[in-house]
Amino acid sequence: MKICKTLFLFLSLAISLLLTQTLSAQNTEPIVAWQPTWTLAQENEHVRIFYKSADCYTASYGVQMEKLLFKVENKTGETLFLQFDLEKAYSHTENREMASEKEVRLVLSPKAALEGVCYPNTEAETSLSIFLANSAIPNMAKLEKININGLKTQLLK
């Protein structure tokens, strides 16, 4: 009986590794597995700020994270300086709360939009994405609440 269980576990592990290697070989670039539509978070006469959650997965590394992505849209025909704070509160396994702020400062071209992405390459993309949770680590802190504070815009000429 013990030999059967050991053989079953060994075969299960071997099949799992084979599938992981096959997926990794076919898909080495990061992908976004799930992306709902953008939801309007805040707006003024110059700018719209949207958000959405994304399930970010890199098959080659086996890394899966949930992120909250932001998109900012310049509603004007002028270059726009935009500044706001993202106030974040994370829960911990000991039921404590960790709060922090992230300042976002961007310059948007006329009628342009910038989006946060799962795997940012630029400072602007990095500033428009925040960590929600890591599904592989169940006891890791999770984002409980987020506020957009101090929205300021200035038209640049």
Residue ranges covered by each domain of the chain: 28-156
* Cβ contact 108:47 at 8 Å: yes
pLDDT value of position 66? 83
pLDDT value of position 157? 80
pLDDT value of position 142? 75
pTM beyond 0.85: no
pLDDT value of position 22? 33
pLDDT value of position 73? 97
Averaged over successive runs of 10 residues, the pLDDT of the chain (157 residues) comes to 42 37 37 66 95 79 79 96 88 56 93 92 89 69 83 93
pLDDT value of position 35? 53
**Domain 28-156 class, CATH top level:** mainly beta
pLDDT value of position 50? 94
List, in order, residues 6 or more apart from 80 with CB less than 8 Å away.
46, 47, 74, 107, 108, 110, 153, 154, 155, 156
